[in-house]
Each structure stands twice: as C-alpha cells, then as structure tokens.
Amino acid sequence: MLAVLPVAAEAQRQPQKREVALEGAFNFRDLGGYTATDYRRITMRRVYRADEIGKLTDADMEELKRRKIYTVIDFRSEDEAAAAPDRLLPGADYLLLPAGSGNSTDSAISAKGHVSGTDAMVAFYSDISAFKEKYRPFFRKLLMLPDTSAIVFHCSAGKDHTGIAAALFLYIMDVPRETIMADYMATNIYRKVENEKMIDSLVNEQGIDRGTATEIMEANPLYLEAVFSALKRKYGSIDSFLYKELGMDEPVKLRLREKFLQ
C-alpha cells in the first residue's frame, strides 16, 4: 500500500474543493484556494496541476473548455509525449519542456544502483541541473497568461516534475512550507489506484521488488525536501536560485502574486 501521511489530507481541508473530477485523468487539481502568509488566497480556476492528459474523454474536454484551460505545459520527455500525446482544446497554447525528464522505468533502472527506491528518488530530486531550462519557460507562461484563461502543467503521474513546479509556484505565492508539502503529498491520495497498477507493472515487467517500486511511485516528503536542500547548497537560498536561474527577482515575484492572489 502507498504511504498516505496525515499531512496529505491538509491539501483537501480548504474552503473550495480543488479536485477536478475527470474520466481520463486522476491527479488533476486546482492550485487555487491555498492561503499565503498575508492571508490572501490563490485565485481558483487559474492554475492547475495534473498527471497525463492524453486519455481525456469528450466530457473531460468540455470540462476543460468550461474552465478555459487553453495553456498546457508538458514536463514529460520527448519520447513520452510522442507515445501519448496530450489531448488539447482547439487553439490551445502547448509547450513541451522535456529537459531532465525520464519515466518510471528510468527511475526503476536507476534504483538498481542505489540502496533503495527512496535513495534513488532522493538522488533524482537532488539533481537540479536542468531546472533553469525546464522551469524558466514555465514561469514566463504564468506571467503572460491572459486574465481570461487558465493554465495546466503536468507530467505522467503529476508527482515529480509537476510536484516540483507546483512547489516553486506555491513558494513564490508565499504559501507556508507545510501547505506546499501537503499539496505535494496529496498525489498519494489521487493516484492511489493508478500507482498500484504502475507498481505491479514495475514488478512484473522490470523485475523490481515491490518495496522499491512503491518507493519510486509514492510521494515522500524526503523527495521534495531534497529539492529545497539542493537549491540551498548550490545557490545559498531558494530565492537566490529563483533570481539567478529563473529571473524571478522581487518585482517579478510581486507581479506573479498580484496576478494570482486575491
């Protein structure tokens, strides 16, 4: 069974329901509603995070249309995106940002060289070498997003690259660290059934033991903390990284907060 820490439920204890119930995606949710330290809330129906969206149904597409989700950021690798193309609304602005992306099979193979799946995933999250190429264009899209439409960013499971992007966004929004972690951990709730299927696949097709496969697929606080630790080691602080690599100085961060907080 996947670990579902109590903190994960915190991501659901907000006044507005943030899950977007779809037939063809399982970890599609609104990042709105979270409260910043100045007591403003992130505006609902503007910024979404998701897992794979290539299997969305016609009914799902109508829901995306109602929510005006016309900008899509895809953090998957080029091979993953080619094998399972996103389903997009007509006229959607699509951007593939594959730098540093792999898939669960890559993680499983990598895990064979580590003591555990947790060890492998901490090493994966600690590798920040592609962050500038991957996340700078993402934040540019957020800055340019029309006030009348919404954006969704995703990868295959909506946990790793998506989880990091969501954490950076929430950090810039000045959301408390415990809320950022709660949002990350909520993947264990939304992806529970699908992750069990992926674990079975890794065990049966890749020969990975079940404990290691579970550690690869689950969201673990150690993984996200590894990102923050790596950024602090290299840049001195998260804010220094945001400025040096993503161009996010204080005026730009204030622009983002004014755009997405209310």
CA 82 to chain centre: 20
pLDDT top residue among 231 and 8: 231
What are 15-73's pLDDT values in tens digits? 447 899 999 999 999 999 999 999 999 999 999 999 999 999 999 999 999 999 999 99
What letter would DSSP give residue 230?
A: H
What are 232-248's pLDDT values in tens digits? 999 999 999 999 999 99
- Whether residue 193 is predicted with pLDDT greater than 70 in this model: the reply is yes
HSE at residue 112, side-chain half, CA atoms within 13 A, is: 10
The radius of gyration computed from the CA coordinates of the chain, to the nearest angstrom, equals 17
- Whether residue 261 is predicted with pLDDT greater than 80 in this model: the reply is yes
> 257: part of which helix (H) or strand (E)?
helix 250-260
What are 4-18's pLDDT values in tens digits? 344 445 454 554 478
- Who's near 218: CB < 8 A, 6+ residues apart? 2, 3, 188, 195
**Contact status, residue 18 vs residue 189, Cβ threshold 8 Å:** no
Decide if domain 6-260 falls under CATH 3.90.190.10: yes
**Contact status, residue 127 vs residue 100, Cβ threshold 8 Å:** yes
Joined together, the tokens standing for residue 234 give: 């290299």
- Whether residue 109 is predicted with pLDDT greater than 80 in this model: the reply is no
What are 196-213's pLDDT values in tens digits? 999 999 999 989 999 999
**b/e sequence 203-213, b meaning 16+ C-beta within 10 Å:** beeeebeeebb
What are 74-95's pLDDT values in tens digits? 999 999 999 999 999 999 999 9
Number of Cβ atoms within 10 Å of the Cβ of 188: 21
Joined together, the tokens standing for residue 259 give: 């755009």
pTM: 0.92
What letter would DSSP give residue 160?
A: S
How are beta strands 29-30 and 150-154 bridged, if at all?
unpaired
Ranges of each domain in the chain: 6-260
* pLDDT (mean) for 97-103: 83
**Contact status, residue 67 vs residue 20, Cβ threshold 8 Å:** yes
